[in-house]
Amino acid sequence: MIDNSRLVEIYELHKKELFIYIYRFCRSQESAEDILHDCFENLIKYSQRFTIQDQNIKSFLYKTAHNLSINHLKRSNKILYVPIEEDSKITDDTYITGNIEASDLNNKIYELLQDIDGLSRSVFIMKKELGKDLREIAEYHGISERTARRKLNKTLEFLADSLKNLGLMLFFYMFTGIILFSNCPII
C-alpha cells in the first residue's frame, strides 16, 4: 500500500506533467485540479487492494487521468464522438499556418480538438505537450503502437485541413498587400 510519504514523492515527481495533460484535455484549471486530486486518491485506493509496481504507477495515473477527464467532459456535454473521416480530403495547398501567431495557433488547435474522440485527443496531447514517443503513448492507453500512430496521423490531417482556410486567407491578404505595395509609384 502507498503511504503518505510515498504519495508525496510520487506526486512531486509526476504532478507537473500530469497536470499539463489534464489541463490541456479539460481546458479548465478548477476541473483539472479536481481530476488531479482524484487520480492520486484512486491510486491510493488501488494500492490498498492490489500490488502496484513502481514502473506501472505513471501508466496508472495517465489512464486514470484520461478516464476521469473523459467522464468530466461527458457530464459537461462537451465531448462529441466525431470519428475523424478515414477519407478526409487533403489537397496539395500549402501554408497551413501561414502567419498565424503561435499562441493563436495553439488556441485554435485546442478548440478544434474538442471535436475529436477522446483517444485521438489524448494521443495528440501526449505527443505535443509532453513529448512522449508513440510507443510510450500506446503503452499508457493499452493500444498498439500502430493504432497510436494512425490516430496521430488522422488528428494531424484533421487539424491541417481545418486550419488551412485560416492560413490561406491570411496568406492571401498578405500577398495582396505585397503586390499593391510593390506597385506603389512613391516607393
Partner 1 sequence: MEKHINEQKLISFITKSLKTQESVNVDQHISGCKLCRQKHSDLLLLLESSQNENITPSAYCDKRIRNISIIPAEETTKPAVLILTIKMLMNSYKPIMAATAALLIIIGVTGAVVTLSRPVDDQKTIPISISYIKGKAYINNHEINAKTRIKENSLLRVAKNSAVVLSYNNKFTIKIRGESTLEIQKALISTYNRKAEFVFDLKKGQLFTKSDDPTGRSHYYYITPTAQIKSSKTEFILKVADNKTVVIPKSGTLKIKSLESDEEVMSAPYKKYTITSSIESNDLNDFDEFNADTLKNLDNPFDEDDNFYPKDFMDSISERI
Restricted to residues 124-143, the positions that interact with partner 1 (CB under 8 A) are: 127-129, 131, 134
Dihedral-angle region of residue 21 (phi above 0 means left; psi in -120 to 50 means alpha; beta otherwise): alpha
One residue of 52, 160, 168, 170 binding partner 1 per CB under 8 A? 160
Tell me which residue has cell 501526449: 126
Cα separations in angstroms, 97 against 152, 163, 164: 18, 7, 7
Q: Which stretch binds partner 1 (CB under 8 A): 52-60, 90-98, 114-122, 173-181?
A: 90-98
One residue of 64, 65, 97, 116 binding partner 1 per CB under 8 A? 97
Phi and psi at 93, nearest 5°, equal -65, 150
Q: CA nearest 60: which of 140, 145, 143?
A: 140
Q: Which residue, 25 or 140, is less far from partner 1 as judged by CB?
A: 25
d(CA 104, CA 96): 13
* Inter-residue contact 138 to 147 (CB < 8 Å): yes
Q: Which residue, 20 or 52, is less far from partner 1 as judged by CB?
A: 20
CB of 174 vs partner 1, minimal distance in Å: 14
Question: Would you tell me which residues interact with partner 1 (CB under 8 A)?
Answer: 1-4, 7-8, 11, 15-16, 19-20, 23-24, 28-37, 40-41, 44, 48-49, 72, 75-76, 90-92, 94-97, 102-103, 105-106, 109, 127-129, 131, 134, 149-150, 152-153, 156-157, 159-160, 163, 167
